[in-house]
Amino acid sequence: MPVVHMRIDNRLIHGQVTVTWASNLNADHMIVCNDKVSVDPIQKIMLPAAARGVKCSVLSVADTLAACMSPEAAQERIFVIAKFPADAVALLDGGLKPDEINVGNQAPIPGTEFQMVTKSCAVTKQDAVMYRDIAGRGYFLTYRMVPSEGKSNFLDLLTKKGL
């Protein structure tokens, strides 16, 4: 499967993603993956517009798996942006095998009990379980805002916060 990178970022597509990540990865197709976002008509218009010329799909978990496993995908360099760690786990459960997984921005969600692991990454206890699940599958789970930053071990950051 040609998924060169998966980023877990609840801000989805923004400047860091389009300008630095997509170009650094040489991605020619960005897929935003989240079941709720995939049925939001406004997001389906706005997110591809924010992709600044890179092919962009806004898909559910099931449709992301189907797209990444399609014959057409073999010709692409796909960059998946999972909104939440639960989306990333569901993709991995479905057989997706990205080359690398990175945790990016996770803005706090009102009404949840979260801890700020970094200044831009809020994590609940349930999220921490999912991040550890991802790492337990053999992925070195990194935290980086942009590709030029050094790769921080995200599990170490969780451990330092008692998660």
Structural domains in the chain, CATH included, are: 3-160 (3.40.35.10)
Band of pLDDT at residue 71, cut at 50, 70 and 90: very high
Burial (CB count within 10 angstroms: exposed 0-12, middle 13-18, buried 19+), residue 102 = buried
Q: How many CB atoms lie within 10 A of CB 35?
A: 16
pLDDT tops 80 at residue 94: yes
Catalytically annotated residue among 1, 2, 14, 35: 14
Note if 14 is an active site residue.
yes
φ and ψ at 118, to 5 degrees?
Answer: -135, 180
**Cα separation, 105 vs 99, whole angstroms:** 20
Whether the Cβ atoms of residue 82 and residue 62 lie closer than 8 Å to each other: no
pLDDT tops 90 at residue 52: no
Whether the Cβ atoms of residue 114 and residue 122 lie closer than 8 Å to each other: yes
pLDDT tops 90 at residue 1: no
